[in-house]
Structure 1
Amino acid sequence: MTTPKVLISDSMDPRAASIFRERGIHVDEITGKTPEELAAIIGEYDGLAIRSSTKVTSKILEAATNLKVVGRAGIGVDNIDIPAATARGVVVMNTPFGNSITTAEHAIALIFALARQIPEANAQTQAGLWPKNGFMGVEVTGKVLGLIGAGNIGSIVAARALGLKMKVVAFDPFLTEDRAIEMGVEKVELDGLLARADFITLHTPLTDQTRNILSKENLSKTKKGVRIINCARGGLIDEAALKEGLDSGHIAGAALDVFVSEPAKESPLFGTPNFICTPHLGASTTEAQVNVALQVAEQMADYLVNGGVTNALNMPSLSAEEAPKLRPYMALAEKLGSLVGQLTTSTIQRISIHTEGAAAELNAKPIVAAVLAGFLRVQSDSVNMVNAPFLAKERGLEVREVKTEKAGDYHTMIRVSVKTDAGERSVAGTLFSNSEPRLVELFGIKVEAELTGHMMYIVNEDAPGFIGRIGTLLGENSINIGTFNLGRREAGGEAILLLSVDSRVPASVLETARAVPGVKRVMALAF
């Protein structure tokens, strides 16, 4: 096995490189490269660790022929073309929790800065004006804080605000009533938050649904005298409308750590009274930068060494603890998907993955992804668990998941069924000794076989002497048989023969086998 190679292309705490080396990974720290320079070297690497400076574009990904994972030391992934990475089978990870406390604290700091006009008071005092009577602030105690986004960072802000004796209301479509009670906040709709909040903080990613969530229309719905803080993402607020609100006095103050365009060298908001800004400092503390660097190195090393997937944005998470237990199931699932893909020649409308018994207790997402990877790899060798679900969706393939916790004939089983123009057909497999994948049913016929290496699949009429004829044919062509696996519907009915062989079966031998009396179908398989 070759040693994985990782490139750290942005400045990062040196302990990140140490983690890679401790895990047996070769690491290079090469920062400050232009896109063209990065494209010239990225093909050597299995992993790319970045912060915000490196832009992982489709062109970079096109040049990254060996790349398996991109790790972002931080939460924002605006600088990564995730669809392009997914299409190329590259895992994209971030570190959503490493800088949560730091970002939440920055939001709280800006609340106080707005409430007491600290930046302007500081500037005038240092200018020798001593403006003691020029600044009348407000207390935060008893005020209503409106959270737009109540995830990890939002929940930390809520906890700090409650400690300051603020009343917290939250708008978040994913916030449940139980979670709101646990946080000590009141769950409200957006219009209700806008009407009630004295301070509004935003803690949501930038998506099509959240872009300009504080639009001109929504800003007009806010309480007069509201103060607005954004430490999340530029683009959540209509900046021109925000300036209008500040100029009119409807908005008492605004503090932005993020802008639509960064670095924000110019902005209509600059110089506006009661406006405060910082240059995207939400995650800029020593502790946070160390945390995210160490976290991204641990996650990437876990993936490259053990197959563990944590905080991935384009594939199911799979912890290092889950990976050993799931790995044999994923191997079985991939083989079953590959078998179906190789044996099905008509158009497939739907693929169903049914887990039964012990398999139904596991995380189904990696199993489904493994089935799809095996199935689609028949058409392209660049398919893996990352891009398989994306490619299936792109092809309009309907994917269904079914779970049955009660065990049937086997303590654990995975069944893969496909619906085609010719009807529905399925294959099923189990694990022997909880680790060895085995086929146990093929298109309704019971047959036990190990799906491995080169194989030959024959459908025939069950008749005496047939196996001998096939054995003689292969022997005459110097093809050595590893295993013989038989199954039939009934005596004298349709039978299946699965043979493992030591080398690929030539097309000429397949053609000769098709001419053997009783043969209905012959195919070469590879796993």
Structure 2
Amino acid sequence: MAPKVLISDKLSAAAVEIFKERGCEVDFLPDVGKDKEKLAEIIGQYDGLAIRSATKVTEKILAAADNLKVVGRAGIGVDNVDIPAATAKGVIVMNTPFGNAITTAEHAVAMMFAVARQIPAADASTQAGKWEKSKFMGTEITSKTLGLIGCGNIGSIVADRAIGLKMRVIAFDPFLSEERAQDIGVEKVDLDTLLARADFITLHTPLTDKTRNIIDASAIEKMKHGAYLINCARGGLVDEVALRAALDSGKVGGAAIDVFAEEPAKENPLFGAPNVVCTPHLGASTSEAQENVALQVAEQMADYLIKGAVSNALNMPSITAEEAPKLTPFVKLAELLGSFAGQATETAIKGIRIEYEGDVAEMNVKALTAAAVTGVLQPLLQTVNMVSAPVMAKERGITIEDIRREQHGVYENYIRLTIITERQERSVAGTVFSDGKPRIIQIKGINMEAELGANMLYVTNDDKPGFIGQLGSILGEAGVNIATFNLGRKAEGEQAICLVEVDGEIPADALEKIAAIGQVNQVKQLHF
């Protein structure tokens, strides 16, 4: 059945065509995003939800979204999506961080010019017939220092444009490496240094607990007298009351503001301040950007729903369309190993260690680790998936460790998963052969080769004569047919493992009889 997508905001018609071309059914209902009740009523029938800023994807909406697999935000900001709730529900949240980057960067540069030369006020005055030439004395941009707070994708484009305008560019960004700073021609500095040196300061950082009110009264105090501030990033980065006071006093020479703490901004402390230029969140508002983000979100969502490729996800490792087919059998293997270990473990889990050896170590191990953790938690939390598993493990205090190695043994690819409990460590290993089928190749250090079917019987026992005969008799008497039978042991007379694929369920009394066999240490019926 084709995946079904709802577009609940105004999105380019080209996005609808992309969904259809890629094999998705799509309902284009651009006004439903504003109607919370209606959205909650219909969301249950959709696999994907494509939105802009009007749709609020709340916990209540997600609770009603029984089939939802992915939310795609056409644009960079996902303030309107409850990401923790989506993650807990196992829903991938994607954005399109690059589709409007150039447009937003250009708007920041345009706003810098507008405030430096007082263009909006001069325009209003001139059109009113006043011709106040001496009133609008501007500031040159050439040779001035531009301070970037945030130097990611948009910030680095602004830096490039500013260098072209012969500005000196300094940047504060904890994630900016010295090498990257050198590559793009900026000087990396701390925040206090930036505030003290910059003639123009422009913000290009997301709104987080650490960046909220990053420009407050104390930050403004550290700024050069008469410096200019530009914010085309997020409302809430600037203390608007403190900025208004600084504009009134002349401490800040001018401000260009595209985003506000509360939007739509019908009233704001900055309105009417001297030399302030305000626009209604136009950073991404060009026809090119609107088209770009619509096309991008449709392509990303369709690629995930049809091919399993994950790109620009905020709560899931990325998987490219090219690597998805190669990765799929290893995702299955990792999940099977996790499921085996999870079902066989009876005590509280403290940690999960996953070792990747050979070619698989060069793959996208983040995705594989997410799959393995999903398998481990599945017996306890039926609704868990690759999106929610790492978060759920963390919430339960389970540490996750992954290790990569080059090939050492006979297998070209090898994954070993170890469960760490308070009592012991238990490991299971597997590989994928050329037929693309996952195989178990080792359990608790005992070598064996087995495919995992839907219903398996797992028995650990002492290697003594008579066990196999008794096991076969009990299963036969219970009417349970054996499909495959796999054995392994450490050495003659020592610990052994029996892994049997059976057709259907094994009755509880038959499991009790197997557990009562003298040599048996543990019996588990496993489902995959």
Indicate whether the TM-score tops 0.5: yes
**Other-structure match for 1:250:** 251
Cα deviation code 1:246-293 (max 9, x no counterpart): 000011100110001111110011011101100000000000000000
Aligned-pair identity (%): 62
Amino acid at match of 1:198: D
Residue 270 of structure 2 aligns with which residue? 269
Which residue identity is paired with 2:45?
A: E
The residue type paired with residue 387 of structure 1 is S
State the match for 1:19 in structure 2: 18
Structure 2, unaligned stretches of length 5 or more? Answer: none
Q: Provide the residue aligned with 1:386 in structure 2.
A: 387
Give the AA of the match of 1:29.
Answer: F
Calculate the TM-score normalised by the size of structure 1: 0.98
- 1:461 counterpart = 2:455: no
Secondary structure of 2:347's aligned partner: coil
Aligned to 1:357: 358
Q: Secondary structure at the match of 1:28?
A: strand
Tell me, yes or no, if the aligned pair for 1:358 and 1:407 is still in contact at 8 Å. no
The secondary structure found in structure 1 opposite 2:148 is strand
How far apart are the structure 2 equivalents of 1:62 and 1:158?
43
Q: Match for 1:66: what amino acid? A: N
Partner Cα separation in structure 2 for residue 49 and residue 405 of structure 1: 41
Aligned match of 2:223:
222
Deviations 1:282-336 (A, max 9, x none): 0000000000000000000011111110000001111111111111111110000
CA distance in 2, matches of 1:407, 1:292: 46
Q: C-alpha distance in 1, partners of 2:453/2:199?
A: 66
User: CA–CA distance in 1 between the matches of 2:192 and 2:297?
Assistant: 38
8 Å CA contact 2:199, 2:227 repeated in 1: yes
Deviations 1:75-104 (A, max 9, x none): 000000000000110000000000000000
Other-structure match for 2:212? 211
Measure, in 2, the Cα distance between the counterparts of 1:365 and 1:256.
39
How far apart, in 1, do the equivalents of 2:236 and 2:443 lie? 54
Q: Specify the SS of the correspondent of 1:435.
A: coil
Distance, in Å, in 1 between the alignment partners of 2:183 and 2:516 is: 71
State yes or no: 1:238 paired with 2:239: yes
Cα distance, 1:32 vs structure 2: 1.8
SS in 2 for 1:439: strand
Give the match's secondary structure for 2:315: coil
Give the alignment of 1:53-452 within 5 angstroms.
Answer: 53-433=54-434, 435-452=436-453
**3-state SS of paired residue (1:204):** coil
Contact 1:3 1:25 in 2 (8 A): yes
Q: Deviations over 1:126-157 (max 9, x none)?
A: 11111122211111111110000000000000
Please report how far the alpha carbon of residue 430 of structure 1 lies from its aligned counterpart in structure 2 after TM superposition.
1.0
One-letter amino acid of the counterpart of residue 144, structure 1: T
What's the offset of the Cα at 1:489?
1.1
Distance 1:405 1:237 in 2: 50
Give distance in 1, aligned partners of 2:458 and 2:184.
Answer: 59
Q: SS state of the match for residue 413, structure 1?
A: strand
Letter in 2 for 1:318: I
Letter in 1 for 2:98: F
In structure 2, what is the Cα distance between the partners aligned to 1:261 and 1:452? 56
Q: Which amino acid aligns with 1:510?
A: L
Structure-2 residue corresponding to 1:49: 50
Q: Larger deviation: 303-312 or 408-417?
A: 408-417
Deviation at 1:361, TM superposition (A): 1.2
Determine whether 1:6 maps to 2:5.
Answer: yes
- For 2:492, the aligned partner's letter is A
Letter in 2 for 1:298: E
Bigger shift: 466-475 or 235-244?
A: 466-475
- Structure 1 residue 474, shift from structure 2 partner: 1.6
Tell me the distance in 2 between the aligned counterparts of 1:348 and 1:51. Answer: 41
Q: What amino acid is the match of 1:270?
A: F
Local SS of the residue matching 2:102: helix
**Deviation at 1:215?**
1.2
How far has the Cα of 1:461 moved from its partner?
Answer: 2.1
Q: Quick check: 1:477 aligned with 2:478?
A: yes
Return the alpha-carbon distance in structure 2 between the equivalents of residues 324 and 156 of structure 1: 34
Q: Which runs of 5+ in 1 are unaligned?
A: none
Decide whether the 8 Å contact of 2:146 with 2:202 is kept in 1. Answer: yes
Residue 457 of structure 1 aligns to a residue in which SS?
strand
Q: Secondary structure at the match of 2:154?
A: helix
The residue type equivalent to 1:14 in the other structure is A
Between 1:337-346 and 1:492-501, the stretch displaced more is 492-501
Q: Which moved more, 1:511-520 or 1:209-218?
A: 511-520
Distance 2:527 2:362 in 1: 30
Q: Which amino acid aligns with 1:442?
A: I
Q: What is the RMSD computed on CA atoms of the aligned residues? A: 1.0
Contact 2:343–2:379 (CA under 8 A) maintained in structure 1:
yes
1:455 counterpart SS class:
strand
SS, match of residue 497 in structure 1:
strand
Shift of 1:24: 1.2
Q: Work out the CA distance in 2 between the residues paired with 1:520 and 1:198.
A: 75
CA distance in 1 between counterparts of 2:349 and 2:270 reads: 56
For 2:8, give the aligned amino acid. Answer: S
* C-alpha distance in 1 between matches for 2:525 and 2:247: 73
Cα distance, 1:434 vs. partner? 6.7
Secondary structure in 2 matching 1:336: helix
